[in-house]
Structure 1
């Protein structure tokens, strides 16, 4: 956190909510490396099913979170 590495909006959401990628990966049933890529790699393009799993788990934590908050259009 704050080490100068690039974070996607999804990565910033994880950090702002105090969630580790390992913890969130277990919650949504996605590999932790995938969550890490989604949080820190601007060129990573996850599958639609992966995004749906992540969004479902994010909504369990915060029902007001929207797709656009985590994955804004580029």
Structure 2
């Protein structure tokens, strides 16, 4: 993880997880098929929500990278 990633920015649990595994939103977006702007919003906007179909793509890609990850870990209820 780069020392400057997310510096001074709010990060959601999903964003913190992305930082921890060393993936950028561009890399994750490319692998998941979800637009980078959506990944950025999921990683850094408090209260941002997306369609179930989009969240399913994100979760499936996350599980490919980390089989132990769960929906509740990445997107806990606010």
Provide TM-score, normalisation by structure 1: 0.96
Corresponding residue of 2:11: 7
Alignment partner of 1:31 is 2:52: no
Distance 1:41 1:2, change over 3 A: closer
Deviations 1:5-32, CA, capped at 9 Å, x for gaps: 1000000000000000000001110000
Matched residue count? 74
For residues 33 and 2 of structure 1, what CA distance do their matches in structure 2 show?
15
Deviation at 1:2, TM superposition (A): 4.6
The unaligned stretches of length 5 or more in structure 2 are none
Aligned counterpart in structure 2 of residue 46 of structure 1, from 50, 55, 69: 50
Root-mean-square deviation (CA), in Å? Answer: 0.8
Deviations 1:28-65, CA, capped at 9 Å, x for gaps: 10000000000000131111111000000000011110
Residue aligned with 1:57, SS: helix
